Chains A and B, each alone.
Chain A
Amino acid sequence: MMDTTTNAAPRTAGPVGSPAIVARGLTKRFGRVHAVDDLSFEVRPGRVTGFLGPNGAGKSTTMRMVLGLVRPTAGSATVLGLPYGSMERPATAVGAVLEVQSFHPRRTGRNHLRVLAAASGVSDARVDEVLALVDLTDAADRKAGGYSLGMRQRLGLAGALLGDPRVLILDEPANGLDPQGIRWLREFVRRFAENGNAILISSHLLSEMAMMADEVIVIDRGRLVRQGSLADLTAGHASLRVAAADHAALQAALVAAGFQPRVDGEAFVVTGVDAADVGRIAATEGIALTQLTAQESTLEEAFLELTEGAQR
Chain B
Amino acid sequence: MRDQIRSEIRKMRSTRSAWGLLAAAVALAGLAAWAMVASMDFGPAVALSTLPGFGEMMILVPILTAVLGIRSYTDEARHGSIVPTLLASPKRRRVVAAKVVVLAGAAAVFALAASLTVAVVSGALLVADGVAVSVSAAALAVLLAKGIAICTLWAAIGLGIGVTVSHQVAAIVGTILWLLVGEGIVEMLSAPVARFLPAHASTAVLGIAAADASLVAPLVGGALLIGWTALSVGLGTRVLFRRDIA
Q: Is A103's CB under 8 angstroms from B79's CB?
A: yes
Q: Is B79's CB under 8 angstroms from A104's CB?
A: yes
Q: Which residues of A contact B11 (CB under 8 A)?
A: 104, 107, 115
Q: How many angstroms between the C-alpha atoms of A5 and B33 in the bound complex?
A: 61
Q: How many angstroms between the C-alpha atoms of A84 and B83 in the bound complex?
A: 14
Q: Is A69's CB under 8 angstroms from B10's CB?
A: no
Q: Which residues of B contact A87 (CB under 8 A)?
A: 90
Tell me the nearest residue of chain A to B76, going by C-beta. Answer: A104
Q: Out of A30, A69, A103, which one reaches B81, CB within 8 Å?
A: A103
Q: How many angstroms between the C-alpha atoms of A107 and B75 in the bound complex?
A: 12
User: Number of B interface residues, CB 8 Å?
Assistant: 28
B214 at the interface (CB under 8 A from A): no
Q: Is B80's CB under 8 angstroms from A67's CB?
A: no
Q: Which of A1-52 contact B (CB under 8 A)?
A: 30
Q: Out of B3, B86, B242, which one reaches A120, CB within 8 Å?
A: B3
Q: How many angstroms between the C-alpha atoms of A84 and B86 in the bound complex?
A: 11
Q: Which residues of B contact A94 (CB under 8 A)?
A: 87
A194 at the interface (CB under 8 A from B): no
Q: Out of A90, A96, A106, A116, which one reaches B7, CB within 8 Å?
A: A116
Q: Is B3's CB under 8 angstroms from A102's CB?
A: no
Q: Out of B3, B15, B89, B245, which one reaches A70, CB within 8 Å?
A: B245
A121-B3 contact, Cβ under 8 Å, with A106-B15, A114-B10: yes
Q: How many angstroms between the C-alpha atoms of A115 and B99 in the bound complex?
A: 13
Q: Is A70's CB under 8 angstroms from B91's CB?
A: no
CB-defined interface of A106-146 with B at 8 Å, one 1/0 digit per residue?
11100110111011110000000000000000000000000
CB-defined interface of B58-80 with A at 8 Å, one 1/0 digit per residue?
00000000000000000110011
A116-B84 contact, Cβ under 8 Å, with A87-B90, A103-B79, A111-B10: yes
Q: Would you list the 4 A-B pairs with minimal beta carbon distance, nearest first?
A: A119-B7, A119-B88, A111-B14, A118-B7
